[in-house]
């Protein structure tokens, strides 16, 4: 089991939300974590200080081996955040026929991730978009996914995806702003009816998609710009409050 979160201005963003999701992953997998939240936070604090980390990603891993051995790791990840051009022009994605066994638990899935990495490298795309055996679009291989149609945000139901922390923050923003939201897994044949789409995650945050395979989308949709701006405000407030309890 693992969790990845972002550090900005030495502040681990939404750390409590990430630890809550980590606990949820353990519950789904029927496994016990042997580090408390306070212990993990102290390790994270030490890691940030030791590396003078102003900005970057940290990964937490709980590794359980068949023989009963276990180990906990916390380390910095090499990151490549999207370029400004990708935020303004959007990125290209492609479909991948795949689904996770336990989509709501953040447990490493070598098969899906490995296939996604191969497709990304071969097709020169930023991300793959997962399509299940019902021809329903669920999420990205390493991100969550939203579509926009008629002023309404559309994302797959919680039980079909890994509920990302940034995704949840965006859902809260949408509700607080009074915008429309629908929890629905779009069928593959209905992608052409969508106006826009974007992926979300720890590194990309809100990243517009300009095309999924041959289907073109509006990367400059005003609602993408608005929700991205609202997320930036939320993150700024969080850092100012330095909520690391």
* Residue 140 in tokens: 């990205």
CA–CA separation, 139 and 162 (whole Å): 8
Residue-range domain boundaries for the chain: 2-79, 84-232
Identical fold for domains 2-79 and 84-232, yes or no, is: no
- What pLDDT shows up at residue 109? 67
Q: Mean pLDDT of all residues in the chain?
A: 93
Please tell me the distance from the alpha carbon of residue 113 to that of residue 100, in angstroms, as a whole number.
10
Architecture of domain 2-79: 2-Layer Sandwich (3.30)
Phi then psi for residue 148, to 5 deg, are -130, 130
H-helix or E-strand spanning residue 225: helix 222-241
Task: Phi first, then psi: give them for residue 239, nearest 5 degrees.
Answer: -65, -40
Q: pLDDT per residue over 119-162, tens digit each?
A: 999 999 999 999 999 999 999 999 999 999 999 999 999 999 98
Name the nearest CA neighbour of 154 among 127, 190, 100: 190
pLDDT in tens, 163-196: 999 999 999 999 999 999 999 999 999 999 999 9
Q: Which CATH class is domain 84-232?
A: alpha beta
Given this model, what pLDDT does residue 28 score?
86
Q: Model's pTM, two decimal places?
A: 0.92
Strand segments, DSSP code E, in 106-231 are: 127-131, 137-140, 144-149, 152-155, 180-183, 196-201, 205-212, 215-216
| Of 177, 179, 169, the residue nearest 148 (C-alpha) | 179
């Amino acid at each position: 089991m693992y969790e990845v979160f972002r550090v900005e201005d030495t502040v681990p963003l939404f750390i409590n939300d990430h630890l809550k999701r980590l606990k949820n992953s353990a519950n789904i997998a029927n496994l016990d974590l042997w580090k408390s939240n306070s212990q993990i936070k102290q390790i994270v604090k030490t890691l940030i200080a030791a590396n003078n980390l102003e900005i970057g990603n940290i990964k937490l891993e709980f590794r359980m081996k068949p023989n009963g051995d276990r180990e906990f790791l916390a380390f910095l990840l090499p990151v490549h955040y999207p370029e400004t051009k990708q935020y303004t022009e959007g990125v290209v994605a492609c479909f991948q026929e795949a689904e996770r066994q336990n989509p709501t638990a953040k447990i490493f899935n070598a098969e899906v991730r490995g296939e996604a990495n191969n497709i990304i490298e071969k097709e020169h795309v930023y991300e793959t978009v997962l399509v299940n055996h019902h021809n329903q679009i669920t999420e990205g291989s390493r991100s969550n996914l939203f579509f926009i149609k008629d002023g309404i945000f559309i994302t797959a139901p919680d039980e079909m995806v890994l509920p990302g922390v940034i995704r949840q923050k965006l859902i809260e923003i949408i509700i607080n702003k009074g915008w429309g939201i629908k929890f629905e897994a779009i069928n593959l044949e209905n992608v052409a009816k969508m106006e826009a789409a974007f992926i979300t995650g720890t590194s990309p945050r809100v990243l517009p998609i300009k095309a999924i395979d041959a289907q073109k989308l509006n990367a400059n949709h005003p609602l993408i710009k608005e929700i991205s701006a609202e997320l930036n405000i939320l993150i700024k407030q969080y850092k100012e409050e330095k909520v690391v309890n």
